């Protein structure tokens, strides 16, 4: 009895996991590849090429009005599909209509506004928000912290398996040491 070939999106997941990409990257790439296939009425990507990719990216920019970074994310996902899963080279420069880069400056809270936000939180939520603000951790990094990652004596946090699978050390704000110790005692 012959084993059935794996579905295309399962093959994508396998390749992503083989390359140790993050779970969020896997979700994002699968999402964009699915959208690409559905955009072309469920044609198999092996039957398509650069022209179809350009049409998809142009559609995203013109009709979908996506940001430039979103369009690039879709491009990277589909290129990954062709290069890593289908082992095909698109062999072209993508000349799709590019989404416009945002010209807006990011909105940044003033120290007073940040303090006000933190004071309106309580319990664990306040502790996590203070940690994000004071040490520069990403949300997922803060939520995955374990007791062994905190070094109170050297005021350090070990961030394990961070973005890109790397580990790093960052500072533990002095103002949070007492808050952490109280939290650990209550737990």
User: pLDDT tens digit string along 126-177?
Assistant: 999 999 998 989 998 899 899 899 999 999 999 988 777 788 999 999 989 8
Sorted by where each begins, the domain ranges of the chain are: 8-85, 111-186
Pick the CATH number of 111-186 from 1.25.60.10, 1.20.1300.10, 1.10.443.10, 1.10.1740.10: 1.10.443.10
DSSP, res 93: -
| Class of the CATH-defined domain 8-85 | mainly alpha
The pTM of the whole model exceeds 0.85: no
User: pLDDT tens digit string along 29-42?
Assistant: 999 999 999 999 99
Q: Which residues of 54-91 are buried (b: 16+ CB within 10 A; e: fewer)?
A: bebbbebbeebebeeeebebbbebbebbbebbbeeebe
**Are both 8-85 and 111-186 of the same fold?**
no
């Amino acid at each position: 009895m012959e084993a059935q070939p794996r579905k295309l999106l399962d093959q994508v997941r396998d390749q992503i996991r083989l390359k140790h990409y993050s779970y969020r990257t896997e979700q994002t790439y699968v999402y964009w590849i699915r959208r690409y296939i559905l955009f072309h009425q469920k044609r198999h990507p092996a039957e398509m090429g650069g022209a179809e990719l350009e049409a998809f990216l142009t559609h995203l920019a013109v009709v979908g009005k996506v940001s430039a970074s979103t369009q690039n994310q879709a491009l990277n996902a589909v290129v990954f599909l062709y290069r890593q899963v289908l082992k095909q080279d698109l062999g072209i420069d993508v000349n799709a209509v590019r989404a416009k880069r945002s010209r807006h400056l990011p909105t940044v809270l003033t120290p007073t506004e940040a303090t006000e936000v933190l004071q309106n939180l309580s319990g664990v939520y306040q502790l996590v928000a203070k940690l994000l603000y004071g040490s520069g951790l990403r949300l997922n990094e803060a939520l995955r912290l374990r007791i062994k990652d905190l070094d109170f004596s050297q005021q350090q946090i070990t961030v394990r398996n961070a973005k890109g699978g790397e580990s790093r050390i960052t500072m533990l704000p002095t103002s949070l040491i007492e808050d952490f110790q109280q939290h650990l005692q209550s737990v």
